[in-house]
A and B are shown apart, each in its own frame.
Chain A
Amino acid sequence: SYELTQPLSVSVALGQTARITCGGNNIGSKNVHWYHQKPGQAPVLVIYRDNNRPSEIPERFSGSNSGNTATLTISRAQAGDEADYYCLVWGSTSWVFGGGTKLTVL
């Protein structure tokens, strides 16, 4: 089965740029979707198909995908961006989520 690897945690200073990675074998050939999830809430889609933003998501959120790594980039990080972030791909027989990354804004 296909596996995705995310760092357990990422820290970023307020106003700086955070990058959260999602690793998988030849993930660059797949569509990657990203979600954030705040405590006690449902996940919210922030990036779909590698680098597309839903209309309600700020332009500070962007994505890229190449080779064996997809990356979610959050520019000008704000305290409200603190959350768990998950990547998602179709892994040939099932949908697969990454293990999740906790983003801390210092």
Chain B
Amino acid sequence: QLQLQESGPGLVKPSETLSLTCTVSGDSISSSSSYWGWIRQPPGKGLEWIGTIYYSGTTYYNPSLKSRVTISIDTSKNQLSLKLSSVTAADTAVYYCASQYCSGGSCYGYIYYYMDVWGKGTTVTVSS
């Protein structure tokens, strides 16, 4: 059974870089049938897509965060990572990683790969 687990510091200082890791178990992160994404949720608010990576290293980022985000993948460890630079209090959120899968129709193209299985999330607070 596919499982994802986020990990990283729960507290980051303003202007510094937030770094999180997502460990995947139950499937290979090198599987050609999945993409891997990061999503966040500020306290009491809705969900925001941050970005997605394929095992080949191809990345897709939310245009509103693109200048500050780097997502990478380590196939040897079955992990993906998120780095968000120059953080402010507005980046305080629960951060989720998720597998992105395609089923039920054409899968010709990244846009058909919806968020499927989610990790439990990790809370990151930006504060001095």
Contact = CB atoms under 8 A, between A and B. Distances in A.
A45 B46 contact: no
A31 interface: yes
Given A33-B114, A88-B114, A94-B62, A49 B105 contact: yes
Interface string B19-45: 000000000000000000100000000
Interface size class of A (residues with CB under 8 A): 20 to 34
Given A98-B46, A100-B47, A42 B120 contact: yes
B13 to A, nearest CB: 26
Contact of A45 (B49, B64, B111, B114): B114
Contacts of B37: 95
A20 B115 CA distance: 20
A76 B47 CA distance: 27
A99 interface: yes
Contact of B49 (A35, A52, A96, A100): A96
20 contacts: A1-B63, A31-B112, A33-B114, A43-B96, A45-B114, A45-B115, A48-B103, A49-B114, A88-B47, A88-B114, A88-B115, A90-B111, A90-B112, A94-B63, A94-B64, A95-B49, A95-B62, A97-B48, A97-B49, A100-B47
Interface of A: 1, 31, 33, 35, 41-45, 48-49, 52, 86, 88, 90, 93-100
